[in-house]
Amino acid sequence: MNNNLITIVIDAMGGDHGPEVTVKAAINSTKNKDIIIILVGDVEKINIELNKYTEKEKQFIKVFPSDGVVNEGEHPALAFKSKPKASIFVSAGIVKSGKANGFISMGSTGASIAAATVLFGTHDGVDRGALGGPIVGFAPKSIIIDLGTNVDTKPNQLVDFAALGNIMSKKIYEVDNPRIAILSVGSEEGKGNNLVKETSKLLSNTDLNFTGNIEPNEIPFSKADVILCDGFVGNVVLKLTEGLGDAVVKLIKEELGENNQSKSLQNSVFEKMNTLAAFGGGPLLGVNGLAIVGHGSSDANAITNAVQTAKFVISTNLIEAQKEELIKIRKQINK
């Protein structure tokens, strides 16, 4: 085994399906022999799944024990104290120790954020990491930030999100001069609450390509590359989009039955409306380390895609670029 390869930790117990899909994703991800996967979790359960594969198939996979799982609904800070050896905290700890380049988890989003925030630390001035990324397949490069991490947000934080989203758009989606907009109730200047208005003033003093407000109905048409909102609004938009996608898929199934054309259309709608569920997840922004936070319902293919995302993010040097962008933008608004 080549120890110079990129090493990614997968929280094997995270998500709705646990080792059944995380082990399969690890096998899929190491087929090209260009990455090492460390599976963290209940060793016995992980090995039951690994034993379905040959020694050759699992030669680039390691197993690391943990004790316990943080479930959805548990308070992350309390879980960190009561379950310090839970799979998500052990996963982040391996990265913190320098033995891996990043971790992936489909488990509790709050616990993943807490693990990354506490163990990696945040960039100077950032209180908590932010989740951001495309949520609508019709606009595959339009990043919405924040998607639920920071539900009560101040204008300065939205400016930080703008800086983080700007560099993410450039590095990951290769947009030269990202258009940055604020999600609001109207596209006209002056429309919106105090958070929108005060953030607009601050962004107008930066060299970011700030284009003003954007309305929710404009999101699917790629009217902006980075869309800013507090985590409360972002999470509502995310869940509404996913719910509409599920409803439309159900309607197609009821109306057209289970023929090939119907299934193809169902899959297309699902990928367009449930982007995070279909493609795994994205990096937590604003922290000093790589954490890919995924969707609990992710299957093995989605987790495999999350591994590919992790590899790509590492190659872009996104973590350091975020620091530089934050420093630059803060100097501009504090003149």
Answer yes or no: is 1 within a domain: no
Answer yes or no: is 198 within a domain: yes
Give the CATH number for residue 158.
Answer: 3.40.718.10
Answer yes or no: is 312 within a domain: no
To the nearest whole percent, how much of the chain has pLDDT over 90?
63
Answer yes or no: is 45 within a domain: yes
| Whether residue 165 sits in one domain with residue 23 | no
pLDDT digits (tens, 9 = 90+) for 206-249: 999 999 999 999 999 999 999 999 999 999 999 899 899 889 99
Q: Mean pLDDT, to the nearest integer, of 47-62?
A: 95
pLDDT digits (tens, 9 = 90+) for 134-178: 888 899 999 999 998 888 899 999 999 999 999 999 999 999 999
| Whether residue 240 sits in one domain with residue 140 | yes
Pick the last residue of a domain from 120, 155, 182: 120
Residue 1 confidence (pLDDT): 47
**In degrees, to the nearest 5, what angle opens at C-alpha 225 toward C-alphas 223 and 230?**
100
Domain that holds residue 96: 6-120
| Whether residue 59 sits in one domain with residue 19 | yes
Taking the CB of residue 1, how many other CB atoms lie within 10 A of it? 10
Pick the last residue of a domain from 120, 150, 168: 120
Residue 2 confidence (pLDDT): 52
| Whether residue 201 sits in one domain with residue 111 | no
Residue 179 confidence (pLDDT): 97
| Whether residue 168 sits in one domain with residue 234 | yes
Taking the CB of residue 142, how many other CB atoms lie within 10 A of it? 27
**Cα separation of 105 and 122, whole Å?**
19
| Whether residue 143 sits in one domain with residue 98 | no
Contact 178, 165 (CB under 8 A): yes
DSSP 243-267: HHHHHHHHHHHHHHTTSHHHHHHHH
- pTM listed for this prediction: 0.88
Answer yes or no: is 157 within a domain: yes
Residue 279 confidence (pLDDT): 66
Pick the last residue of a domain from 66, 97, 120: 120
User: What's the structural domain count of the chain?
Assistant: 2
Answer yes or no: is 290 within a domain: no
Answer yes or no: is 148 within a domain: yes
Beta strands in the chain (DSSP E): 6-11, 35-41, 61-65, 102-105, 130-133, 143-145, 179-183, 209-214, 226-228, 281-285, 291-294
Query: Which neighbouring-strand residues pair with 282?
Result: 293
Q: What tokens were used for 60?
A: 């680039």
